Chain A
Amino acid sequence: MLELCTISKAFLKGQPVLKDISLKVEKGEFLAVLGPSGCGKTTLLRIIAGLEYPDKGDVYINGQAMTHLPAEKRPVNTVFQNYALFPHLTVEENIAFGLKIRKIEKAQIRQKVKEMLSLVHLEGLGKRYPHELSGGQKQRVALARALINEPQLLLLDEPMAALDESLRKKMQVELKKLQRELELTFVMVTHDQEEALAMADRVLLLYNGQIEQEGKPHELYYTPKSRFAAEFIGQNNFFHFSQLAGQEYQFELGRFIFTQKLPPSFTAAIRPEKVHLSTTSVEKSYPVEIRNIIFRGANIFFTAVTHDGFEILGELPAENIQLEEGQEVYIHIREADLVIIA
C-alpha cells in the first residue's frame, strides 16, 4: 500500500530531520508513528502527504512512485493537527471542498456530504461555521472532510491533541472502530504513547529522525530494545548489572544469579507491575521500605527504597490495600520479567 524507501530530509540549515527512513504499510493497517516532539514525525507525515519533498529516497503508494508528486495529485488525505477547517466555509462546504475541486456533480456532492455527516454523527450541524463547533465536533468535520474523498490512505497528525482527556478516550475508540469498519489504511502521528498503543496495529517509534523500534504494541511495551524505547513507552525501573563471576551479577539491590549467559555488563528494565512484594525473604528478594503510596483507581503505585536509597517504582492492583507507608517488605524479582536492553 504505502512504502517509503530510505527517506532523508534536512532543514535549510542542514540539520537532518529524517535519516534513512524505510517502512511499509499494508492495506487496512493502522500504523502509529510515535515519538517526542521534534523527532521528525510530522515531517514524515508531510512527506507522505506531498506537502514536502524528501531530499533523498522514494515514496510509493500502491506501487507507484509519488516522491515528487504534489499533494493535490496524491490519493492521500490528511486530518491536520488543529483540524485546519476553513473558517469562511460552513461544515457542509468544508466537507464538500475536495469533491468541488474535483468538479463532481452537485447532486452527488450533496448526497455524499449527507452520508458523511451521518457517518461522523454531525447531522443537523451542516450549516454551522467552524467557530460555532466544539473541539470534538471540529475533529469529526476534519475527518469527514478527508474521508469523503475516499482516500486510499488517511494521514492523521496528532488528531486527539486538541481534545480534553475524556473526549480523547472516547474518540480513540470511535476512530479505531471507523477504521476497522471501512477497512481504511491509517497512518497516525502522535506523541502520546498510550494513544499509539491503544489504537494502532503497529507502532513505529521515531527518535532523532531515525526508527528506534518498530512492532506490535505489546512488543514495544514488553520488549523495548533501547533505553529510550523503555523510557518513552510506559514507566520502567532500570538496573545496571555487572558480572561478579560466571552468571552471578551485582546490581543496585544486591546479587542476582542468572540462568543464562550474559555480557559482563548490561542494563535491564522492569515494569512497575512486575515488581512483586513478599513479607518474607525468599530467593532473589531484597529488603526495602515502602514510601509514597499513590492511589489511582484500579491500581496503586508505590515507591520502594533500599537501604542505599535506591528507588524502585511498583504497581499493584488496588485490592492489596494492606500496604502501608513505612512498612518493611521484600521485593521479589523474576528473571523473566527483566528486559535486557544492553
Chain B
Amino acid sequence: MKRRYSLLVYALILYLFLYLPIMLVVIFSFNETNSQSSFEGFSFKWYEALFENERVLSAARNSLVVATLSAILATFLGTLLAFGMWRYHFRGKGILEAFLHIPLVLPEVVMGISFLLFFSLLGLRLSLLTVILSHVTFALPYAALVVRSQLEQYDTTLEDAARDLGASPLEVLGKVTLPILMPGIAAAVLLSVILSLDDVVISFFVSGVRGMTLPVKIFSMVRAGVKPDINALSTLMLIGTFLLALGAKKLFEHFESRRTLVK
C-alpha cells in the first residue's frame, strides 16, 4: 500500500511537470506587466497588441491557408492511396509501403533540406506554395494510415450488397464506401491540420519571407527574446490545437462506438 502512495505522488509530480510550464505560459499571457515570474494584474493588453501586429496576423492567415489546403490535399491523396493499397495487390507494393513510411521516420531537418534542394532545383521561389507542397507530403502518410486503420474494419460485403441492390460502382463509392469511411477521413483531415499547425522545422526551410507561417513567426520571435505577446499567441495556439485534437478524438469515438455496437 505504501508503494502505491509513493507511486501516486510520483505520478502527480510528473503530471505537474507536464502541465505546469504550459499553464504558466497561459497565465502570464494575461499579465499586466511583461514579467514572466510575478503576476501583477489581469489584462488583455498582449492579446490586443497581437491583433494589431500586422505581421503576426498575416502569418496566422498563412498558417490557416496552408493547414486547410494541405490537409484537404493530403487527405485526398492519402485516402485514395490507402484505399488502393487496401484493395489491390500489385507488384512493388512493398516498396510503396516503405516510401509511405519514410516521411514518418525521416528527421524533420533532413526532410526540410531535401525540400529546399528540390525546390531550388526546380527554380521554385519559396512561398506559400512550397510550404503547402511540403505539408501535404509529410501529412500524407499520416492521413493514409488513419484511413487505413478504418478500412481494416470495413466490411466489403456492404459493397456487394449495394451492387446487388442496383448501385453502379460510382454509386457504391458515393453512397456506401465514402459515407462509412467519412469519420476516418474527417479524422485524417483534422490530424493533418494539427500536424501542419505544429510544424516549425520544415516550414522554416521552405517558407521564405513570403510564406511565413505562424510557428515560424513564433520561432523567430522567440529567438529574438521572450515577450508576453508570445505568451498570448501561444495561448491561442494551444487552444486551437487542443480543440482540433478534441474534435479528432470525438470523431474516432463516434466511429468506434458504431462499429463495436454492430458487432
Contacts and interface: CB of A to CB of B under 8 A. Distances in A.
State yes or no: do A and B touch (Cβ within 8 Å). Answer: yes
A105 B166 CA distance: 16
B167 interface: yes
A72 B167 contact: yes
Point out which of B155, B162, B171, B259 has the most chain A C-beta atoms below 10 A from its C-beta: B162
B164 A102 contact: no
B262 A130 contact: yes
A71 B261 CA distance: 29
A76 B175 CA distance: 20
Contacts of B4: none
Contacts of B95: none
Interface in A84-109: 84-88, 97-98, 101-102
What is the interface residue range for chain B against chain A?
A: 20 to 34
A73 B171 CA distance: 13
Interface in B163-178: 163-168, 171, 175-176
A98 B165 CA distance: 5
Contacts of A145: 165
Interface in A44-73: 46, 49-51, 70-73
Interface in B141-190: 155, 157-158, 160-168, 171, 175-176, 179-180, 182
Contacts of A82: 155, 157
Nearest to B158: A84
A129 B168 CA distance: 24
Contacts of A80: 157, 160-161, 164
A174 to B, nearest CB: 22
Contacts of A97: 162, 165, 167, 175
A237 interface: no
Contacts of B175: 97, 101
B87 interface: no
Point out which of B158, B163, B176 has the most chain A C-beta atoms below 10 A from its C-beta: B163
Contacts of B163: 50-51, 70-72
> Which label, helix, strand, loop or mixed, suits the secondary structure of the B interface?
helix
Interface string A8-36: 00000000000000000000000000000
Contact of A72 (B166, B261, B262): B166
B223 interface: no
A102 B161 CA distance: 15
A86 B161 contact: yes
Contact of A87 (B166, B167, B168, B180): B180
B164 A49 contact: yes
B258 interface: yes
A76 B162 CA distance: 12
A306 interface: no
Given A80-B157, A84-B158, A131 B165 contact: no
A299 interface: no
A71 B160 contact: yes
A177 B158 CA distance: 28
Contacts of A73: 166
A77 B167 CA distance: 12
B157 A88 contact: no
Contacts of A303: none
Contacts of A85: 161
Interface in A178-219: none
A281 B105 CA distance: 86
Nearest to B155: A84
Interface string B72-92: 000000000000000000000
Point out which of B158, B165, B167, B262 has the most chain A C-beta atoms below 10 A from its C-beta: B165
A242 interface: no
B157 A84 contact: yes
Interface string A109-131: 00000000000000000000111
Contacts of B180: 86-88
Contacts of A77: 164-165
A49 B159 CA distance: 13
19 contacts: A46-B160, A51-B164, A72-B164, A73-B166, A78-B161, A78-B164, A84-B158, A85-B161, A86-B158, A88-B182, A97-B162, A98-B165, A98-B166, A129-B258, A131-B258, A131-B262, A132-B261, A146-B165, A149-B165
| Shortest Cβ-Cβ A-B pairs, 4 listed | A131-B261, A84-B161, A98-B165, A71-B163
Given A82-B157, A84-B155, A102-B166, 4 more contacts: A78-B161, A80-B157, A87-B258, A129-B258
Interface of B: 155, 157-158, 160-168, 171, 175-176, 179-180, 182, 258-259, 261-262
